[in-house]
Chains A and B, each alone.
Chain A
């Protein structure tokens, strides 16, 4: 069984600043993927970034990057140059070989102008 934990229910960041959202996971699988999804007020789930566990290099997508620490089972999301449109719920998730997604409880990110 997989578990995903997001220890920060809410985070706040000033516009243009950098913020890091934390996520830890536990899995017995050797082959798995990790994801960060964004859920804006529309509630549409949008993929932000993905990381294959077998890859050592941290994934990067424009202003979004991850710090993947496999031994520590940690998968944090860094948002640089925060924008008002980044305000949303962010969910960390893991997928195993059966493609079953397990989600964390979410972190609400607020961006202050």
Chain B
């Protein structure tokens, strides 16, 4: 069966510090991978998606970047965090055809 992992689960970082959130998927190959952000009490906003190693598409220009160094690894990064980067970050994967997306447990990021 397939599983998706995210870490860390929670993170408190000062403004201006770097960020690295990791997402890995097990039990499948060549998945589509997605990063979403959810502000408190709001819906999900798609940040990045990837259809293959090294292939990253950005939906919203911002202070964040993403990378896919391996087939089942997706990393969300920032060189300098802003207060507005606080939120709940969710990673998801799906098969190549239209299908439901499977979500990880999420990372709660607080920028102070």
Determine if A91 and B32 form an interchain contact, defined as CB atoms under 8 angstroms apart: no
Contacts A32-B98, A99-B94, A101-B34; is A45 near B43 (CB within 8 Å)?
no
- Residues on B with C-beta less than 8 A from A99 are 32, 94, 96-99, 101
Give complex CA distance A27, B75 in Å: 30
Q: Is A96 an interface residue (CB 8 A)?
A: yes
Give complex CA distance A102, B48 in Å: 13
Q: Is B103 an interface residue (CB 8 A)?
A: yes
Give complex CA distance A95, B106 in Å: 21
Q: How large is the interface on B (under 10, 10 to 19, 20 to 34, 35 or more residues)?
A: 20 to 34
> B109 to chain A: closest CB distance in Å?
13
> A46 to chain B: closest CB distance in Å?
8
- Residues on A with C-beta less than 8 A from B92 are 45, 101
Determine if B88 and A100 form an interchain contact, defined as CB atoms under 8 angstroms apart: no
**Chain B: residues with CB nearer than 8 A to chain A?**
32, 34, 38, 41-44, 46, 49, 88, 90, 92, 94, 96-103, 105-106, 108
